[in-house]
Amino acid sequence: MPRPRSLTQDQLSAAALAVIDREGLPGLSMRAVAVELGISTMALYRYVQDRGELEALVVELVLSAVDSTPPPPDAGTWQARVTLLVDRLRTTVGAHPGVLPLTFTHRHRSPGVLRWGETVLGVLGEAGLGPEERIVALRALLAYVIGAIQQEHLGALSGAGTTAIAALPAEEYPYLTEAARSARSLTPDREFHGGLALLLAGLGG
C-alpha cells in the first residue's frame, strides 16, 4: 500500500563494498555510501539499523562468493579436496582485502561460510575422522586460514617488515636475519600451501 523501497539490499552492500575497494576500510562511512548510492545519509537508515549492520551486509556479500562456485569434485584424495576448499576461502577473502578486519566480527552469520564448513566436515568425515577430531580439525584449519590471510595482507613476507628484520643485528638474531634473507624468494602462495600441508600431514595423511 505505501511507497515501495527504491533500493535492494544487494545494491546497498555492493555500494559499500565499492567504497571499501576504492578507498580502503577507513574510507567507509555512512556518508560515503550514501553518496555512492546518490541518496542522503539518513536515507540509509531506512535500510539498516546502524553502521554495524551495513558492515555485516558487506561481509556477507563477500563471503557468500565462497559457496557460489560448484562443489568440489569427489575425485582425488581428501587432502586435495580440503586444499581446494581452503584455497577457495582464501581467494574469496583475498579478492577484497579491505574487508578483512570486518570478517572477524561478522563472520558467524554468513550462510556461505556455514555451508563451506559443512562441506569441509563432510570431507573430513569421509577421511575417517571421528566427531571430535573433525571439530578440532575444522577449527584448526579455520584458525590457520584466518591467521595466514591476515599475515599475507597485513604483514606480507616480502614486504617492509621482512627487510626491517633482515637489517637487525645478526649477532643477536642469527636465525631471524638468516630467515629474512632467504624469505625473499618465498612466494605467498608457496608459504600458504607449505603451512597448510603441515596441518594436513598432521591430520594423518
Partner DNA sequence: CTGTTAGGTGTACGGCATACGCCTACCGAG
Partner DNA sequence: CTCGGTAGGCGTATGCCGTACACCTAACAG
Contact set with DNA (CB under 7 A): 1-7, 28-32, 39-43, 45-47, 50-52
Q: Which of 42, 68, 73, 175 binds its own copies (CB under 8 A)?
A: 175
Give which of its own copies, DNA, none residue 25 binds (C-beta under 5 to 8 Å, depending on kind): none
# residues near its own copies by CB under 8 A:
57
| DSSP label at residue 158 | T
Q: Is 64 in the site for its own copies (CB under 8 A)?
A: no
Exposed (0-12), middle (13-18) or buried (19+): which is 68, by Cβ within 10 Å? exposed
Residue nearer to DNA on the CB measure, 39 or 179: 39
- What are the contacts of 65-70 at 24+ separation with CB within 8 A? 65/92, 65/95, 65/112, 66/92, 66/112, 66/113, 66/116, 67/111, 67/112, 67/113, 67/115, 67/116, 68/112
| DSSP label at residue 111 | H
The residue written with cell numbers 642469527 in the block is: 174
Site for its own copies in 15-34 (CB under 8 A): none
What's the min distance (Å) between Cβ of 3 and DNA?
4
Please check whether residue 21 is in contact with residue 96, taking contact to mean a CB–CB distance below 8 angstroms.
Answer: yes
Radius of gyration of the CA atoms of the chain, in A: 21
Give which of DNA, its own copies, none residue 29 binds (C-beta under 5 to 8 Å, depending on kind): DNA
Give which of its own copies, DNA, none residue 128 binds (C-beta under 5 to 8 Å, depending on kind): none
Q: Is 57 in the site for its own copies (CB under 8 A)?
A: no
Interface map 141-160 toward its own copies (x if CB under 8 A): -xxxxxxx-xx--xx-x---
The dihedral formed by the CA atoms of 133, 137, 140 and 142, expressed in degrees to the nearest 10: -140
CA 133, chain centre distance (Å)? 24
Q: Is 132 in the site for its own copies (CB under 8 A)?
A: yes
Q: Which residues bind its own copies (CB under 8 A)?
A: 101, 104-105, 107-108, 114-115, 117-118, 121-122, 125, 131-132, 134-140, 142-148, 150-151, 154-155, 157, 161, 164-165, 168, 172-176, 178-179, 182-183, 186, 191, 194-195, 197-203
